[in-house]
Amino acid sequence: MNGWTSANIPDQTGRTFVVTGANSGLGAETAKALVGVGANVILACRNTAKADAVASKLGPNATVAQLDLADLASVRSFASSFTGADVLINNAGLMAVPLRRTADGFEMQIGTNHLGHFALTALLLPKITDRVVTVSSGVHQIGNIQLDDLNWEKRRYRRWQAYGDSKMANLMFGLELAKRLAEAGSSKESFIAHPGYAATELQGRSENFMDVLAKLSNKLPIAQSAADGALPQLYAATMSGLPSGTYYGPTKFFGLHGAPGRNKYKKAADDADFRAALWAESEKLTGEKFDVSGS
């Protein structure tokens, strides 16, 4: 790969990162790369057995903490014992799963990918010193969020639309957080990243014929490795001088693979009124008042 790679990550000795969903795929590769440049990494995962296996290979700079983003009680428990970090990477996610509900009754994809991370960031932000990176997806382009039915209680469920909506919510959240931090005069920053097409365990969870297609497409040249797919979030998490509120992803073949760089996104995400409404609805649903003024 030409361009920025993990070899270009600046030294991170003495810095601490929280990576959600670091037990496999992009999260595990992100943790591996960060530990490799001296960082301390908290692997915040639902499946702690898998996370322990990853951490054991990374050494003493990697620690594991239980976090189930599909359960707000777990999010609050994690936050209550959290002592601080430089960077939070909101990486964990589900893609195109059948209709299921979180412990709090949210549709599983919006509940895990967006609402769980929204609540987590709200609770952790006072103890994050540098930045938040939220992982979206190129599939945000199909996002068409319905604020009056965020949890798919009125409409016929469509798993890919629900995924696209959750990834648009991730993008809008990252943009709105950057705006609010700047307006509050905070030095903290917010970035958004996406992996392009990366062959990970995220694919193959649809429990239908799409799983077969996913396994086949993961073998095509268009698919990046998980390590390459992690580069945009590593770039956003470690590089200095980036404008807060910017979106990073692969720079080749329509953003599907290649070295990371600044990407364009669906312009609907710039609707400030809609972003504010989504923020308010997220506060209402999670019960977490998100105050950036003290950040």
Instruction: Say how far apart CA 192 and CA 216 lie, in whole Å.
Output: 28
Q: Please, which residues bridge with residue 65 across strands?
A: 44
Q: Which residues pair with 64 in a beta bridge?
A: 43
How far is residue 44's CA from residue 20's CA, in Å, rounded to a whole number? 5
| Residue of 7, 170, 4 whose CA lies nearest to 94 | 170
**Residue 144, SS3 per DSSP:** coil
- CA nearest neighbour of 207 among 167, 159, 161: 159
Cβ–Cβ contacts within 10 Å for residue 252, how many? 15
- In the set 163, 197, 248, 265, the catalytic residue is 163
Element (H, E) at 65: strand 62-66
Residue 188, token pair as written in the block: 């903290």
Specify whether 248 is catalytic.
no
Counts for the chain of helices (H) and strands (E), in that order: 10, 8
End-to-end CA separation in angstroms for the chain: 38
Distance of alpha carbon 106 from alpha carbon 97, whole angstroms: 14
**Cα angle: 35, vertex 39, 42; to 5 degrees:** 80
For the CA atoms of 175, 105, 92, 199, the dihedral, rounded to the nearest 10 degrees, stands at: -110
Greatest Cα pair distance, the chain, in angstroms, is 50
Which residues are known to be catalytic? 163
